[in-house]
Amino acid sequence: MENYDAVALFSGGLDSILAIRLVEAQGLKVKCLHFVSPFFGKARQAPYWQECFGLDIDVVDVGDDMVRLLAHGPAHGFGKTLNPCVDCKILMLRAAKALTARYGARCIISGEVLGQRPMSQRRDALYLILRDAGVKDLLVRPLSAKLLPESAAEASGLIDREKLCGIWGRGRKDQLALAERFALPEIPPPAGGCKLTERENARRYWPVLVHAPNPAAAEFRLANSGRQFWSNAGAGPYWLCVGRQQSDNERLTRNAFPEDALFKLAAFPGPLAVGRQFGAQPWPEPVLRDAASFMASFSPKAVRQQGSVQVRISLERHAFELDVHPARETPCLWGECSWEEVRENLRAAAQERSHKGSQTGRLKNS
């Protein structure tokens, strides 16, 4: 394994590129770590970034770790939607710390800018992340270093503090000047792109967190495609994903579990649907029939048939066809989770966390 002076959290955005450039300009060798999950990351972009910016990048999958974080509830809470920004940064820094020995690295580089983001880049949040990730002796934030306490890498002389920056706030003027100084071949847009910050995705993900017995990253990749419907009829909940277009159908097929039920119209063009079978509990035949009827209602040609249509259902060990009437309103009452429902649940969770915190504080003081 080749040795490096530092490992860096690399998002693909301008800030992380500039933080790496500032350290490389001092003669240090940097391994970039691009973290991916169902919620963020662009693994397919890594070869392009390597060629365009001359970076040395490894893609690191933290999907299952992120799902566990969400399922257990982030210690530092969610943002405006389902985004656990502080805990997410702690998770990635811990992962980077675990890889320092592998690369022989003596420090960790992050592109954080003091005051840029209201949840995770306040001064107190930056200190909290440093402490809880256990990287006080490793982490360097080159873009805001002169506004922050001296890092161990600076104190040791590994990195010259005077050659780092003191950038603050949400503007990009200083970063654009740095990009010109380093003659970057292009200016990436702000990295962002975390699906957990969007209400539409919170609606998709919340029911999975609530209803999946042991949620895994693969289930959230499934939740990223097509329309997401749930039913609490009978022994439910039942989860049905319905494709909107061919690309959705392909992703749903690719991300379905071996035990899932796949629905497809036998004689008409239309969506493919996946019925997620949790554990060893297969859907009963009435629910399969109901889902087939509901799925068929998304095919205009099947609806215009004005009669029964055949839906082919593929299960793990066998396939069969059912004659059903396309219907949007069925006994199972398939519906989508609303943002209002998610928001109320998140508020309740925050209140419970606050209550437990105050109880713990009283016990410590008693």
End-to-end CA distance of the chain: 53
Average pLDDT over residues 349-358: 71
CA distance 57 to 36: 13
My answer on whether 182 and 251 are in the same domain is: no
222 in a structural domain: yes
347 in a structural domain: no
Between residues 316 and 73, which one has the greater pLDDT? 73
> Is residue 17's pLDDT more than 80?
yes
My answer on whether 75 and 132 are in the same domain is: yes
Mean confidence (pLDDT) of the chain: 93
The pLDDT, as a whole number, for residue 317 is 79
My answer on whether 69 and 134 are in the same domain is: yes
> Is residue 365's pLDDT more than 60?
no
- Count structural domains, the chain: 2
Choose among 335, 25, 37: nearest CA to 193.
37
My answer on whether 42 and 171 are in the same domain is: yes
My answer on whether 82 and 130 are in the same domain is: yes
- Tell me the pLDDT tens digit for each residue of 231-279: 999 888 999 999 999 999 999 999 999 999 999 999 998 899 999 998 7
Residue type, 183: A
DSSP codes joined into one string, 233-268: STT--EEEEE-SSHHHHHHHHHH--TTSEEEEESSS
The pLDDT, as a whole number, for residue 234 is 87
Strand partners, 319: 314
337 in a structural domain: no
Q: Would you say 94 and 125 are in contact if contact means Cβ atoms under 8 Å apart?
A: no
330 in a structural domain: no
The pLDDT, as a whole number, for residue 362 is 54
168, with CB counted inside 10 A (0-12, 13-18, 19+), is middle
Average pLDDT over residues 168-189: 94
My answer on whether 190 and 209 are in the same domain is: no
The pLDDT, as a whole number, for residue 240 is 98
333 in a structural domain: no
CA distance 92 to 39: 14
My answer on whether 217 and 307 are in the same domain is: yes
Domain coverage including residue 137: 6-195
The pLDDT, as a whole number, for residue 18 is 97
Q: 85-103 and 123-132 are packed helices; what angle lies between their axes, rounded to 10 degrees?
A: 50
Within a 13 Å sphere around the CA of 346, how many CA atoms are in the beta-carbon half? Answer: 23
251 in a structural domain: yes
pTM listed for this prediction: 0.91
CA distance 93 to 113: 16
The pLDDT, as a whole number, for residue 279 is 74
The pLDDT, as a whole number, for residue 290 is 98
286 in a structural domain: yes
- Tell me the pLDDT tens digit for each residue of 73-111: 999 999 889 999 999 999 999 999 999 999 999 999 999
Q: Which residues contact 11 (CB under 8 A, 6 or more apart)?
A: 34, 111, 191
Question: Which residue, of 180, 195, 210, is where some domain finishes?
Answer: 195
> Is residue 190's pLDDT more than 90?
no
Strand partners, 36: 61
The pLDDT, as a whole number, for residue 170 is 87
Predicted confidence band at 40 (pLDDT cuts at 50, 70, 90)?
Answer: very high
